[in-house]
Chain A
Amino acid sequence: MLEAMDLVDHDGELMLRYGRGDLGAFEILYARHKGPLYRYLLRHVRHAATANDLFQEVWSRVIAARGRYVARAKFATFLFHIAHNCAVDYHRRRHSASIQSADDEPAAAYLEPEAPADQRPDRLAEFNEQQSALLSALAALPAEQREAFLLHEEGGLNVEEIARVTSVGVETAKSRLRYAVRKLKAALMDSVGAEHPAAVVRSL
């Protein structure tokens, strides 16, 4: 716990250092958070090109905010709050565009593989049915539940922080996370049961 707090303070300190002109501090911060942020966006919007655009937009906003950043909460909360807002804007634009051009472009065109071809689960020999089922179940979750799960797993945010980032009450955030965990766990059990029925009880 103490270690986690140190890390939190360290990230905030890095951001403050970048605000004072230390470019190296930003590079450390970027290396530490780029993976979780990318996966959050990719699995939240489920569109690789959009995830790339949003990823750049989030970091642009972080860069723009460097001079006025105040370490009130941990840096991940700040980062994923921006990411959430970018994703919300994207969904609004997409909704607006789909109304305007519903006949021109089918909704399915927005769905792309979540990873480049060389990283796609179905191309990796060692990737088994269990993880594939889990990611499929994650993609099938309602957006709010999927986001709550991703904010916890990728952002390392607790329920209170998820509530703050998504601007909902703590009980609502907790409920979303509970539903997500239940559905994902069920999907995991099904996949394990399909492969090794006897292992279901043991592993879960």
Chain B
Amino acid sequence: MSTRRDDDLEEFRRGDSELSRAYRRASAPQPRAALDRRVLERARAAHARAAASGTGTWAYAASIALALAVMFAVAYAPRRVERTDETPHFLHTAARHPNSPALHFAYPTVAGRAAAGAEVPDPRRWLARIAALREAGRNRDADEEYRRFCTAYPTYAATRGETGAAVR
């Protein structure tokens, strides 16, 4: 009995049973034309609303994009001006101390230091300081300082002959 029922169900599920054929032969009512019109009108109205709001959405998106572009321009323009001075912060500090090693390292020559706006040491005083280091027996310091002096004033010794006691 159970197998018979399963057979009936399987036959029905295949879609070609006597039951299905009888059901399909029965009346097949359709929605009335007025109902069709109402549904299709609703679909058209939704379509039209979407098209209208689509245009509005595009305009809205464009205005947002424009506003963002202006905001970025305003926000970044001053920063770009500020960043034209690429000098590291430690050199601004070193510029206040003419003989600091950092300044010598960054701007070895007097011309470079002058171009960077740093204070240029007086060569005579510099040589006198080197000579004082030698007199005090600090030859290693004097040599180091003289090497910097020669880098800063590459032609000084040759043109002036004023290195004096600064050179051993």
- Do A and B associate with each other? yes
Q: A residues near B, CB below 8 A?
A: 18, 21, 23, 26-27, 30, 34-35, 38-39, 42, 52, 55-56, 59-60, 63-64, 66-67, 114-116, 119-121, 124, 127, 130-131, 134-135, 138, 152-153, 158-159, 174, 177-178, 181-182, 184-185, 188, 203-204
A-B contact count (CB 8 A): 106
Q: Assess A119 versus B43: contact at CB under 8 Å? Given A56-B38, A130-B22.
A: no
Q: Assess A153 versus B23: contact at CB under 8 Å? Given A21-B50, A204-B18.
A: yes
Q: B residues near A, CB below 8 A?
A: 5-6, 8-9, 12-13, 17-20, 22-32, 35-36, 38-40, 42-44, 46-47, 50-51
Q: Is the CB of B39 within 8 A of A153?
A: no
Q: Is the CB of A63 within 8 A of B42?
A: yes
A26 to B39, CA, bound (A): 10
Smallest CB gap from A204: residue in B: B18
Nearest chain B CB to A49's CB is how many angstroms away? Answer: 11
Smallest CB-CB A-B distances: 9 pairs? A131-B26, A115-B29, A59-B39, A38-B31, A178-B9, A181-B12, A63-B46, A26-B43, A23-B47
Question: Majority SS of interface residues in chain A?
Answer: helix
Smallest CB gap from B50: residue in A: A21
Q: Is the CB of A135 within 8 A of B26?
A: yes
Given the complex, which residues of A lie within 8 Å of B35, measured CB to CB? 52, 55-56
Given the complex, which residues of B lie within 8 Å of A42, measured CB to CB? 29
Q: Is the CB of A188 within 8 A of B39?
A: no
Of the A-B pairs whose beta carbons lie under 8 Å apart in the complex, a sample of 26, sorted by A's number, is A21-B47, A27-B40, A27-B43, A30-B40, A35-B30, A38-B30, A52-B32, A52-B35, A56-B42, A60-B42, A64-B46, A66-B46, A121-B26, A121-B27, A127-B26, A131-B27, A135-B26, A138-B23, A153-B24, A177-B13, A178-B5, A178-B9, A181-B9, A185-B19, A188-B18, A188-B22
If A35-B30, A116-B29, A184-B23 are given as contacts, then 5 extra A-B residue pairs at C-beta distance below 8 Å, sorted by A number, are A115-B27, A127-B27, A134-B19, A178-B6, A182-B8
Q: Is the CB of A159 within 8 A of B13?
A: yes
Given the complex, which residues of A lie within 8 Å of B46, measured CB to CB? 63-64, 66
